[in-house]
Amino acid sequence: MAYLFSSESVSEGHPDKVADQISDALLDQFLAYDEHARCAIETFNTTGQVIIMGEVRSEEYVDLQTIARKTINDIGYTKAEYQFDGNSCGVLSAIHEQSDDINRGVDNGDDENQGAGDQGMMFGYACNETDNYMPVTLDLAHLIMRTLADIRKEGKQMTYLRPDSKSQVTVEYSDDNIPQRIDTIVVSTQHDDFIQPKDDSREAQLKADAEMLEQIRKDVIEILMPRVKAQIASEKVLALFKDGIKYLVNPTGKFVIGGPHGDTGLTGRKIIVDTYGGKGGHGGGAFSGKDSSKVDRSAAYATRYIAKNMVAAGVSDEILVQLAYAIGVAEPVSVYVNTYGRSKVNLSDGEIAEKVKQLFDLRPKAIERTLKLRQPMYLETAAYGHMGRTNEIVKKTFTSRYHTTKTVDVELFTWEKLDRVEDIKKAFGL
C-alpha cells in the first residue's frame, strides 16, 4: 500500500538556527586564526539576549560579542520591533577551557592515531531520489526555505516577511519506495502586522488577520512556489508537482511574534533538519559549534561521504552507514551498513561493511585530512542542512581587533564530493 512521508526545514531566522549559526561563526573565527583550535560552543537566545557557553582550547583570542552581533544582523534581525536584534541584544559569555581529561584522550602524542573526542554513533545516508542523493522531501523543504529567504532579502516582493519561518513537505511513495507525488506543502512564515484593524474590536482584528493570511497564502502559491520550481533541474522531481497539492500556509492564522522573542533558541535542536529529514538514522549528536576532533561532526560527514559515493557508484539505490567510536580510541568500534534490500551487488550488508572498512580510513585524523575539516568552513553548514549541499571553493574574509584581516580560500561541503566512485566500482566489480 502507498504511504506518505514528511520532512521539515526551518529558515536561518528560526531561533535554534540563530543559535547554530552563532556557534559555527565563532568556530570559524577560531579556526581562521588557529587551525588547531578545539571548540564545543553552545549558544542560547531569547528576547533581547544571547548567552554563549561551552569549552574552547586555543592560543588565540576571539571577540565573541562582535561575531555574535554580526551573525544576528546578517540573518536579518536588525529591527528593535522584533525584540531581538544584533545591535541591541545583550551578549553574555560563559566560555571556559576544554577539560584536560578530554584533551588527554584526543592528543595522545600520536598524531595519526588521534583519539576520538567522544564516544557515540554517527549515521550517514544517501538515496537516488534526487540529483544530490538526498530524500526528496527534505530537499524540497530546504529549497522552499532558501527561496523564501532570498525573496525576503531582495526586498522587492512579499516585503512583509520576517526572518523566522518553517516548511514541511509530504510526499506519497509507492510500495517499492518510489516517490509518486507531493501531497502537502506547509509554509509558516513570520510577517509584519501589515494590515491594521479599523478599530479596537475583536471583529476588526479578526478581519485584518484574515486579510493578511489571504495575501500571504496567495503570495506563497503565486510567488514563492514558481520560484522554487524554476530552480529544480530534475524532471523526476518536477513530475511530483501534480494537481491537487494541499497548501497549508500559516495554519494558526497569524505569525507576527517569532524568532528568539517567540521561542527560545538553542544550539543543536534541529539535528533532523540538519541531516536527512527523518530518513536513515541519527546518533543524537549535534554538529554546530564543534570542531572536527568531535566525531559527532566529523564522522557524520564521513558517513555521508561514504553513503553518497556508494549510491553514486551503483552499490545500492539507498544506503545507511553507521560508525561508532570510543573516546580516546582512533579506530571505530563498529562499521554497519544497511541497504534496505535495494543492493545491486551480490553481497550481504555485512560483507559490504567489510569493504567499506578496506576502502576508507575512518580514524578521526584521517577523516579530518580527507575532508579538509580544519578549515573555517562551518558557518555555511548551520542553516538549510549540512548534507546535499554544493561542494565549492569560496573566499572568506575574517576581521579581528586582535589580528590582521585574513582572506582565505575555503572548500565547502567536502563530504559531498563524488571522488571515490571509481574506487568503489573497482572494489565491487561494477
Alpha-carbon gap, residue 107 to 57, rounded angstroms: 12
Element (H, E) at 299: helix 295-313
Given a contact cutoff of 8 angstroms between Cβ atoms, the answer to whether 208 and 192 are in contact is: no
Tens place of pLDDT per residue across the chain (430 aa): 799 999 999 999 999 999 999 999 999 999 999 999 999 999 999 999 999 999 999 988 889 999 999 999 999 999 999 999 999 999 999 998 765 555 555 665 556 667 676 788 999 999 999 999 999 999 999 999 999 999 999 999 999 999 999 999 999 999 999 999 999 999 999 998 888 989 989 999 989 999 999 999 999 999 999 999 999 999 999 999 999 999 999 998 888 888 899 899 999 999 999 999 999 999 999 999 999 999 999 999 999 999 999 999 999 999 999 999 998 888 999 999 999 999 999 999 999 999 999 999 999 999 999 999 999 999 999 999 999 999 999 999 999 888 889 999 999 999 999 999 999 999 999 8
pLDDT of 108: 53
Query: Residue positions in the annotated binding site for K(+)?
Result: 42
Alpha-carbon gap, residue 165 to 75, rounded angstroms: 12
Query: Residue positions in the annotated binding site for ATP?
Result: 14, 164-166, 254-255, 263, 269-270, 286, 290
pLDDT of 408: 96
Q: Which domains does the chain have, with CATH numbers?
A: 3-8+137-257 (3.30.300.10), 120-127+292-428 (3.30.300.10)
The stretches of 34-127 forming alpha helices (DSSP H) are 64-75, 100-106
Distance of CA 306 to the CA centre of its chain: 18
pLDDT of 101: 53
pLDDT of 128: 96
Query: Residue positions in the annotated binding site for L-methionine?
Result: 55, 98, 263, 294
Given a contact cutoff of 8 angstroms between Cβ atoms, the answer to whether 294 and 117 are in contact is: yes
Query: Residue positions in the annotated binding site for Mg(2+)?
Result: 16
174: cell is: 509507492
Query: Residue positions in the annotated binding site?
Result: 14, 16, 42, 55, 98, 164-166, 254-255, 263, 269-270, 286, 290, 294
Closest by CA position to 23, among listed 48, 1, 55: 55
313: cell is: 557508484
Alpha-carbon gap, residue 130 to 388, rounded angstroms: 9
Task: Give the DSSP letter of residue 255.
Answer: -
**HEC profile for 147-177?**
HHHHHHHHCCCCCCEEEEEEEEEEEEECCCC
- Burial of residue 143 (CB within 10 Å: 0-12, 13-18, 19+) is buried
- Burial of residue 356 (CB within 10 Å: 0-12, 13-18, 19+) is buried
Element (H, E) at 23: helix 15-33
258: cell is: 517569532
Alpha-carbon gap, residue 286 to 210, rounded angstroms: 39
pLDDT of 400: 86
Sign of the Cα torsion 364, 369, 374, 378 reads negative
pLDDT of 74: 96
Given a contact cutoff of 8 angstroms between Cβ atoms, the answer to whether 138 and 166 are in contact is: no
